[in-house]
Amino acid sequence: MRNKIIAGVLTVCIAVGSLFTLTACDQQTAIYYDAGKYAVIAWLAIDNPSDEVKMLVADSANYIIEHANEYEPGQFFADMFYDKLCELIDEKTELEENVKTYVKAGTLIVLKGLDMLLADNEKIASKTDEAVKVAKAFSEGAMSMLVYKSKSPVLAIAREKRAQLGLK
- What single-letter amino acid sits at 79? D
User: Is the pLDDT score of 91 beyond 50?
Assistant: yes
Task: Select, from the ranges 15-19, 39-43, 106-110, the one with the highest average predicted confidence (pLDDT).
Answer: 106-110
Residue 166 confidence (pLDDT): 74
Averaged pLDDT of the chain: 83
Say what percent of the chain tops pLDDT 90.
51
What's the predicted TM-score (pTM) here?
0.76
User: Is the pLDDT score of 6 beyond 70?
Assistant: no
Q: Which residue has the higher pLDDT, 165 or 144?
A: 144
Averaged pLDDT for residues 3-7: 54
Chain centroid offset of residue 49 CA: 14
Residue 21 confidence (pLDDT): 42
Q: Which residue has the higher pLDDT, 166 or 74?
A: 74
Q: Which of the four pLDDT bands, split at 50, 70 and 90, describes residue 45?
A: confident
Long-range contacts, stretch 9-18, CB < 8 angstroms, 24+ apart? 9/38, 9/39, 9/42, 10/39, 10/42, 10/112, 10/113, 10/116, 11/116, 12/38, 13/38, 13/39, 13/113, 13/116, 13/117, 14/116, 14/117, 14/120, 15/120, 17/117, 17/120, 17/121, 18/120, 18/121
